[in-house]
Amino acid sequence: MTTTTTNISTSTTIEKVATGSYTLVDNFNASKLRARTIVLSAIKLKPFTTMNVFLSGINVNSDFVPCTKVEITSTGTFYGSTGIQRNDNILLRATAINSYDTILLGDVITCVNGSAVVVADEIIHDKVTDTNKRVLYVTNIKGSLSGTITGSVSLSTGVVVSVAAGDRTTNSLGNFYGALVIPSFTFDSGIHKILLSDDITPDPNASSTSADASYSSNGNIVTHTTHNTSSERSVTTVVDRTTTTWYHNRYNHYRYD
């Protein structure tokens, strides 16, 4: 004996079909610098000296963010912004400018509550306490730094002792660390001179200690429009769940004498 069960279900949905076109409107050279974050590192300047930051002769102290000073205890060495380049932890390396602007050099240190990018790892002398301290100069802090930290590249670990805001003053070694956030569409594209000077003017001959470097930028701005349209269509789905069951009856035959 067989039994057939028919179970057919039908459902209808409305599906959107997207179509579109891309139209290039204009393509021209960018005449102004885009917003960018540049890590500045200068060594062997005059110790304990306040520096001013100039971009092509313009004072940009207001756009300069000194590195935060993180005192730690550690036996390992953390990589700074010299010679170590990795693309790991892109989200942690991305700056506040935009997701494409990342700090690729140096360890990314992480802890339970935050992260930062290491610019330098140094032992400096604190003239207030007259003691030597192990200090990490960090930028791009996200969250807060405390407890045990781990370097993403060096894999070194350490314990945070204190965290202090940075300033524009060189340390006991005469070293200076920070990030210059170039304002968007303020400076012309091309080659620019970045100058660190202890003088209030951009004249390096007027300073007692200074350092300079070049920064260049050029590019294109592409303006475009997209025209997206969509149409709707009805989609009917049929599901057939027909099943057939076979039953086999077995008879036992008994003989009586």
Buried b (16+ CB within 10 A) or exposed e, 154-163: bebbbebeeb
Distance CA 2, CA 57 (A): 95
State pLDDT tens for residues 144-167.
999 999 999 899 999 999 999 999
Looking at residue 125, its pLDDT comes to: 92
In 10 A of CB 186, how many CB atoms? 13
pLDDT at position 78 over 60 = yes
Percent of the chain predicted with pLDDT > 70: 73
* Averaged pLDDT of the chain: 82
Tell me, yes or no, whether 221 lies in a domain.
no
Tell me, yes or no, whether 150 lies in a domain.
yes
Distance CA 106, CA 101 (A): 15
Percent of the chain predicted with pLDDT > 90: 49
The answer to whether 46 and 175 have CB atoms below 8 angstroms apart is no
Looking at residue 255, its pLDDT comes to: 47
pLDDT at position 124 over 80 = yes
State pLDDT tens for residues 184-211.
888 888 888 999 999 999 998 899 999 9
Structure-model confidence comparison of residues 215 and 217, the more confident one: 215
Looking at residue 225, its pLDDT comes to: 54
Model confidence at 118, pLDDT cuts 50, 70, 90, reads very high
Query: Which whole number is the average pLDDT over 26-41?
Result: 76
Looking at residue 256, its pLDDT comes to: 45
Tell me, yes or no, whether 174 lies in a domain.
yes
pLDDT at position 28 over 80 = no
Tell me, yes or no, whether 248 lies in a domain.
no
Looking at residue 162, its pLDDT comes to: 96
Tell me, yes or no, whether 244 lies in a domain.
no
Tell me, yes or no, whether 245 lies in a domain.
no
Query: Which whole number is the average pLDDT over 28-42?
Result: 80
Length of the chain: 257
Q: Which two tokens stand for residue 196?
A: 């660190």
State pLDDT tens for residues 82-106.
777 777 788 899 998 877 788 988 9
- The number of domains in the chain is 1
Strand runs (DSSP E) across the chain, as ranges?
2-5, 8-29, 36-42, 52-55, 58-59, 64-66, 68-73, 108-110, 114-126, 131-143, 148-151, 157-164, 176-182, 190-197, 210-217, 220-240, 243-246
Strand runs (DSSP E) across 48-130, as ranges?
52-55, 58-59, 64-66, 68-73, 108-110, 114-126
Tell me, yes or no, whether 234 lies in a domain.
no
pLDDT at position 246 over 70 = no
52-55 and 36-42 beta bridge pairing:
unpaired
pLDDT at position 44 over 90 = yes
Find the domain containing 110 and state its range: 32-200
Q: For 51-55, 172-176, 232-236, 240-244, which range has the lowest pLDDT when averaged over its residues?
A: 240-244
- Of 180, 5, 14, 15, the C-alpha closest to 101 is 180
Tell me, yes or no, whether 180 lies in a domain.
yes
